[in-house]
Amino acid sequence: MRFFRLRENTEKLRSFAWELLELLPTDEEAQQILAESYLSERKLDKQDKKKALRVIDPLWQREELKLEQAVRYADILEELEQYSKSLDIILPLCDHENLDADTQIQAKLIAARTALKLGQSKIAARLIPDIPPKQLGGSLIFLAIETLSDNGDLEGALETVKQFIRREYNPTEYNSTIIEQAVRLSRQLNRVKELEDVIRSLGKFRMLKDESFYQHLKNCGLSDLARELQKIS
């Protein structure tokens, strides 16, 4: 009840709660109010994330976090590069029956990313098939393609890499491996023209001035497409 009048003002609420914790470090009401305040905010700066851990962790230890809050806690830990603890928290939640489908996917994304950063690629590979391709990015996309290919799902691997190229592939940010994999898969499935159409349709490739990208297309056997895009750019 001490916080009732402050709930509509986040800054004042946090300030008052932190002052109280300075006086009473184990005050559970102050910990709960602060934890809920931080966990409900999607964008926290690094300083706030560090402060959040101080009040969220006691709740975690007392098993007082809701499932969705535990997922957000693992997310914050990952953002602060505390990968091992994040994975310990999130992994048991990935298939929890009381989490909705979207939150389960979010949990699996966090778990896959942290597992990969810890060198536990087998855990990441086990989770990736349950994550929609449109949500894969960064290093996960490479593992997803490898996992699908190893499992014999070449169609799935090609669709995944095509979606990634459409959605977020940027030649200035990603190395050329993704194009090599896309070409390899499209050749195995005799669908090279389909891949060329995907690349051709994207404005980011038609306006590109990076000669190394065109050279890489040529090296992959897409010389005609490379020359066509160069003329347009």
For 73, 125, 127, the CA distances from 139, given in Å and listed in that order, are 22, 12, 14
DSSP state of 173: T
Q: What is the structure's pLDDT at 72?
A: 97
- Dump pLDDT digits (tens) for 195-214: 999 888 876 665 566 678 88
What's the distance, Cα to Cα, between the start and end of the chain in Å?
64
Helix (H, G, I), strand (E, B) or coil at 210: coil
What is the value of pTM for the model shown?
Answer: 0.74
- Dump pLDDT digits (tens) for 45-95: 999 999 999 999 999 999 999 999 999 999 999 999 999 999 999 999 998
User: Quick one: tokens of 72?
Assistant: 């957000």
Percent share of the chain, pLDDT over 70: 89
CB within 8 Å of 230: residues ≥ 6 apart: 214
Closest CA to 72 of 112, 41, 50: 41
Q: What is the structure's pLDDT at 1?
A: 43
- Dump pLDDT digits (tens) for 142-185: 888 888 888 888 998 998 888 888 877 776 555 578 888 899 99
